[in-house]
Amino acid sequence: MMERIIISLEPEEVIELQRIVLDESPNEALIFLKNKLNKKVEAVLSRPHCVPIFEMKGKIEDQGFIPGPPDQPKKR
C-alpha cells in the first residue's frame, strides 16, 4: 500500500484550481491535473528513501522545511 504524500500548491495554482472548480471545466481540470498535480506527485514519489539527512538538506529546504526533531517539523 502506498504511503500518504503531501504536496503544496503555489498561490497562483490555488487560484487556478478555484477558477476551474467555479467554471466546472472538465478540460481545464484534466490539464491542471496532468500539468501541475501529477508532476508534483511524480516528484515526491521519485525522491530517494533512507538517505542521511545531511545529503537531503538542500532538497528539504527547497521544499520549505528546515530539519529539526522528527516530532516537531519546522516551517519557514
User: In angstroms, rounded to a whole number, what is the distance separating the alpha carbons of residues 43 and 6?
Assistant: 11
Q: Record the cell numbers describing residue 30, joined without a space.
A: 484534466
Say if 59 falls within a structural domain. Answer: yes
Taking every pair of C-alpha atoms in the chain, what is the biggest distance, in angstroms? 45
Residue 35 above 70 pLDDT?
A: yes
Domain count for the chain, please give it.
1
Say if 48 falls within a structural domain. Answer: yes
Say if 20 falls within a structural domain. Answer: yes
Say if 35 falls within a structural domain. Answer: yes
Query: Is the distance from CB of 66 to CB of 76 less than 8 angstroms?
Result: yes
Residue 75 above 90 pLDDT?
A: no
Q: Record the cell numbers describing residue 76, joined without a space.
A: 519557514
Say if 71 falls within a structural domain. Answer: no
Say if 75 falls within a structural domain. Answer: no
Say if 61 falls within a structural domain. Answer: yes
pTM for the model = 0.55
User: In angstroms, rounded to a whole number, what is the distance separating the alpha carbons of residues 57 and 21?
Assistant: 36
Residues spanned by the domain of 54:
11-66
Say if 3 falls within a structural domain. Answer: no
> pLDDT for 5-30, tens place per residue?
888 899 999 999 999 999 999 999 99
